[in-house]
Amino acid sequence: MKLLFFLLLCHGCGQFSTRLALPALRDWFPHLKKPDWHPPAWVFGKVWLLLYTLMGVAGWRLYCAKSSLLVLWLAQLGFNQLWTYLFFVLRSPGLALIDNFCLWITLGVYVILCWPLDPVAAVLLVPEWLWIGFASTVNYATWKLNR
């Protein structure tokens, strides 16, 4: 039952972010200059579906272990939500880039500190860590092209 809670929490955050971003996805984002290597729109939904699932399982494992690292797990979830608000609602790729940097650092600290306690919970967030590294380069290039 707890696993279901963590999965619903993560996917619920994803749905909330999507709804929050919809107005800008329709009328602002299509007009931004993007780097040539910007992934097609359909990639983001597929990637985040997987990442939110992995996040949910990782959070559940930490909860079961009664680990204080759950605070870092919650922080990365919060930074994820904040990015959408900064980028799409405030329409500020620059602020979103700062958030991405904070998210990337938080994920790295999480993976390093989590490894001795629960290597599986650590590895589950490595794909997100890598994706955020890539997404940060896309965010940076988009910010640079539209300044």
Residue 66 in any domain: the answer is: yes
CA distance 108 to 96: 18
Residue 108 in any domain: the answer is: yes
Nearest to 100 by CA among 71, 79, 125: 79
Kindly indicate the confidence band of residue 1, based on its pLDDT and cuts at 50, 70 and 90: confident
Burial of 117 (0-12, 13-18, 19+ CB in 10 A): middle
- Number of domains making up the chain: 1
Nearest to 93 by CA among 80, 81, 84, 103: 84
The whole-model pTM stands at 0.94
Q: Which domain holds residue 113?
A: 2-29+42-145
Q: What is the pLDDT of residues 39-93, one digit of tens each?
A: 998 999 999 999 999 999 999 999 999 999 999 999 999 999 999 999 999 999 9
CA distance 133 to 99: 12
- On the question of pLDDT at 98 being above 80, the answer is yes
Question: The domain that contains 134 carries what CATH number?
Answer: 1.20.1260.100
